Amino acid sequence: LYSVTWSLRVALGGLVWQTVRDKCIDTCVPRPGSSLSRGEQQCLAQCVARYQDATQTVGKAVLSAMGVQ
């Protein structure tokens, strides 16, 4: 069960990064440059936090359905 749990966490971590890359960066950084503006930084922080929360909620639900705590 540990192996399944760990594999799921790794997969979810990859999903979070892919989503952040695909959604958050495209949404929050319309014109990439050498640095991020304060607004871009705040947008990215909020976007990443939303996806982390959503992924954690889904991960807990999946583990619960599998009978893993």
As a whole-number percent, the residues of the chain with pLDDT over 90 amount to 28
Tell me, what's the pLDDT at 69? 61
Structure confidence at residue 17 as a pLDDT band (50, 70, 90): confident
Q: What is the pLDDT of residue 27?
A: 92
Sequence-distant (≥ 6) Cβ neighbours of residue 28 within 8 angstroms: 40, 43, 44, 47
Q: Exposed, middle or buried, 23 (CB in 10 Å: 0-12/13-18/19+)? A: middle
Check whether 5 has a pLDDT greater than 70.
yes
* pLDDT value for 6: 75
| Contact criterion met (CB below 8 Å) for 4 and 66 | yes
Question: With a threshold of 0.95, does the pTM exceed it?
Answer: no
